């Protein structure tokens, strides 16, 4: 099942997306996929039966992030693809080893942006806005001390996100939080594909493009720490909650590592795509 949070005739609600159509409840609705997940059992049954839902054309709707405002920070893996570790070695001018333990930082919930929303670029704040396409994992069942063998039972589904990063702020402040949490710096969506529909999240082509030119092109099979390992480690010390979002790291091809380095400029169109899930398309605008 593909679920989205949309607006239709000025009302925000959850929609099931099938081909070119969106299906919504004609009476009552969940305001976003987070509320859907809080009522998962009944909600899943309701949305399983297309004949009980109202069919509308996707041209008539506007997509929001499936979870427009997560309850907690988005948890992000750093250096989780070997080729991205290697390009960081080149970028930093010193040997960077693959991490022995996952590197985890977070993005503020306020950074979440719509899948087709504009990304504001204030050149007085950053001159080095960069892209990082990532597979997002949505937790459907919370828990603490989850073992990797049980971890996939805690996954509701998967989405596309871009961990948009101000490289200058990321470096300047040492800790990543400020450089990762600019308003609008986490476009997400357009749908969450439920885990029962997307059988193998570890074999998906993952790409990003700027103005149609491919920047990143890899496969989620190249993650250093896979999803069960990530969930085991994250839940060891903190209770994972329903609706938590995990960004699983980006492959090589970020702008900072290119020669010469390339960063986003006003007018650029950033596309982030993962096979079987969809594509984000965000315009960079000056503000």
The least CB distance from residue 248 to Mg ion, in Å, is: 9
Return the number of the residue (18 or 183) whose C-beta is nearest Mg ion: 183
Return the number of the residue (132 or 268) whose C-beta is nearest Mg ion: 132
Q: Enumerate residues 231-250 that contact Mg ion by CB under 5 A.
A: 250
Contact criterion met (CB below 8 Å) for 211 and 268: yes
The least CB distance from residue 5 to Mg ion, in Å, is: 23
Return the number of the residue (22 or 245) whose C-beta is nearest Mg ion: 245
Can residue 163 be called a binding residue for Mg ion (CB under 5 A)?
yes
Return the number of the residue (17 or 231) whose C-beta is nearest Mg ion: 231
Phi first, then psi, for residue 167 (nearest 5°) are: -60, -40
Q: Please tell me the distance from the alpha carbon of residue 74 to that of residue 170, in angstroms, as a whole number.
A: 16
Q: Enumerate residues 249-268 that contact Mg ion by CB under 5 A.
A: 250
- Which of these ranges, 97-105, 130-138, 187-195, 220-228, lies near Mg ion under the rule CB under 5 A? 130-138
Can residue 32 be called a binding residue for Mg ion (CB under 5 A)?
no
Contact criterion met (CB below 8 Å) for 130 and 151: no
The least CB distance from residue 57 to Mg ion, in Å, is: 35
From start to end of the chain, where are the E strands?
2-8, 11-18, 21-24, 54-57, 62-64, 74-78, 103-107, 112-113, 119-121, 129-130, 133-139, 155-162, 165-166, 186-194, 205-210, 213-219, 245-247, 269-274, 278-286
The least CB distance from residue 133 to Mg ion, in Å, is: 9
Among 87, 132, 268, 273, contact with Mg ion (rule: CB under 5 A): 132
Burial of 165 (0-12, 13-18, 19+ CB in 10 A): buried
The least CB distance from residue 134 to Mg ion, in Å, is: 6
The residue count for binding Mg ion (CB under 5 A) is 3
Residues in Cβ contact with 201 at an 8 Å cutoff, skipping those fewer than 6 apart: 135, 137, 158, 195, 220, 227
Residue showing tokens 């992000």: 76
Residue showing tokens 């054309």: 57
Return the number of the residue (35 or 183) whose C-beta is nearest Mg ion: 183
The least CB distance from residue 191 to Mg ion, in Å, is: 21
Q: Please tell me the distance from the alpha carbon of residue 100 to that of residue 272, in angstroms, as a whole number.
A: 28
The least CB distance from residue 253 to Mg ion, in Å, is: 12
Return the number of the residue (163 or 244) whose C-beta is nearest Mg ion: 163
- Which of these ranges, 49-57, 66-74, 155-163, 181-189, lies near Mg ion under the rule CB under 5 A? 155-163
What three-state secondary structure class fits 211? coil
Q: Please tell me the distance from the alpha carbon of residue 162 to that of residue 76, in angstroms, as a whole number.
A: 11
Q: Enumerate residues 80-119 that contact Mg ion by CB under 5 A.
A: none
Q: Please tell me the distance from the alpha carbon of residue 245 to that of residue 258, in angstroms, as a whole number.
A: 29
Closest CA to 83 of 243, 232, 176, 221: 221
Residue nearest to Mg ion (CB): 163
The least CB distance from residue 172 to Mg ion, in Å, is: 18
Return the number of the residue (73 or 250) whose C-beta is nearest Mg ion: 250
Return the number of the residue (46 or 126) whose C-beta is nearest Mg ion: 126
Residue numbers at the binding site for Mg ion (CB under 5 A): 132, 163, 250
């Amino acid at each position: 099942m593909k679920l989205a949070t949309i607006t239709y005739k000025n009302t925000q609600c959850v929609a099931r997306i099938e081909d070119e159509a969106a299906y919504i409840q004609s009476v009552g609705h969940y305001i976003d996929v987070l509320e859907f997940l809080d009522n998962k059992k009944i909600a899943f049954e309701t949305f399983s039966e297309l004949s009980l839902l109202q069919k509308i054309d996707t041209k008539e709707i506007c997509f929001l992030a499936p979870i427009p405002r997560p309850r907690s920070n988005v948890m992000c893996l750093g250096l989780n693809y070997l080729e991205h570790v290697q390009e960081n070695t080149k970028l930093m001018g010193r040997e960077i080893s693959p991490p022995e333990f996952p590197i985890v930082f977070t993005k503020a919930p306020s950074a979440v942006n719509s899948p087709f929303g504009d990304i504001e670029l204030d050149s007085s704040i950053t001159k080095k806005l960069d892209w990082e396409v990532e597979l997002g994992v949505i937790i459907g069942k919370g828990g603490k001390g989850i073992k990797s063998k049980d971890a996939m039972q805690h996954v509701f589904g998967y989405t596309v996100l871009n961990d948009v990063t101000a490289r200058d702020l990321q470096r300047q402040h040492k800790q990543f939080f400020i450089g990762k949490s600019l308003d609008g710096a986490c476009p997400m969506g357009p749908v969450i594909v439920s885990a029962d529909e997307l059988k193998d999240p570890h074999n998906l082509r993952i790409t990003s493009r700027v103005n149609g030119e491919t920047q990143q092109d890899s496969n989620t099979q190249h993650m250093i720490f896979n999803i069960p390992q990530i969930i085991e480690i994250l839940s060891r010390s903190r209770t994972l909650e329903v609706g938590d979002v995990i960004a699983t790291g980006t492959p090589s091809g970020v702008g900072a590592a290119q020669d010469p380095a390339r960063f986003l400029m006003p007018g650029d169109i950033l596309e982030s795509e993962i096979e079987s899930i969809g594509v984000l398309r965000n315009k960079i605008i000056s503000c």
